[in-house]
Chain A
Amino acid sequence: IAGITQAPTSQILAAGRRMTLRCTQDMRHNAMYWYRQDLGLGLRLIHYSNTAGTTGKGEVPDGYSVSRANTDDFPLTLASAVPSQTSVYFCASSDSIGTGAYNEQFFGPGTRLTVL
């Protein structure tokens, strides 16, 4: 059982370069999310997708774009990386069953990105 996979595990990138972080889930979850984690700031939502074909902005969307062409994949693109985007990036997914109870978000192992 893979759950959520992210690639690459880590990356060092020159400022100004374009970079796509990959996220794939095999749980057939409708909803997917991207977070960044910075020291002392916890996790902050970048973008989300409630279902294939739709996306939305989170708390810190500037400088990032996402697409959701199918249920399983949710890539995050940095069009022109800047040093302030140095962070650990986590992808997550959740079911969207409307029972009223929280549909747990399951997190991937993360991608450590350094922009120089």
Chain B
Amino acid sequence: GQQLNQSPQSMFIQEGEDVSMNCTSSSIFNTWLWYKQDPGEGPVLLIALYKAGELTSNGRLTAQFGITRKDSFLNISASIPSDVGIYFCATADPYSGAGSYQLTFGKGTKLSVIP
């Protein structure tokens, strides 16, 4: 099946620092997603990207859809303790005629923020 290579696997940063993580694939995709999973909970969608080169922000989060359509990046500025969690990239392929999507997830980046 398709594989997404997400890096780094984990990060320890000081509160207030900026964070960058990325996801690459050997295949081209039309939709890139970024989800966050808080400890003990299910993932929650942060940002959806639909167009090569697209740059989208959600508060202190900014994500980009790579020009080649094979990668995506997520940046978090001025990190705070509640940013702790696991961040997943994902791609979405539509099920034919159904309006629903098959998601393929990266393995996640575990973020720890030191106050």
Contact = CB atoms under 8 A, between A and B. Distances in A.
Main secondary structure of the interface of A (DSSP, over half): loop
A50 B101 contact: no
B88 A105 contact: no
Interface residues of A, number: 32
Interface residues of B, number: 26
Interface stretch (B41-49, B61-69, B77-85): B41-49
A3 to B, nearest CB: 10
Interface string B85-110: 00010001001001111110111100
B33 interface: yes
Interface of A: 4, 30-31, 33, 40-45, 48, 50-51, 56, 58-59, 90, 92, 94-98, 101-105, 107-110
10 contacts: A31-B98, A43-B43, A44-B105, A94-B100, A95-B99, A97-B99, A101-B48, A102-B92, A105-B45, A105-B101
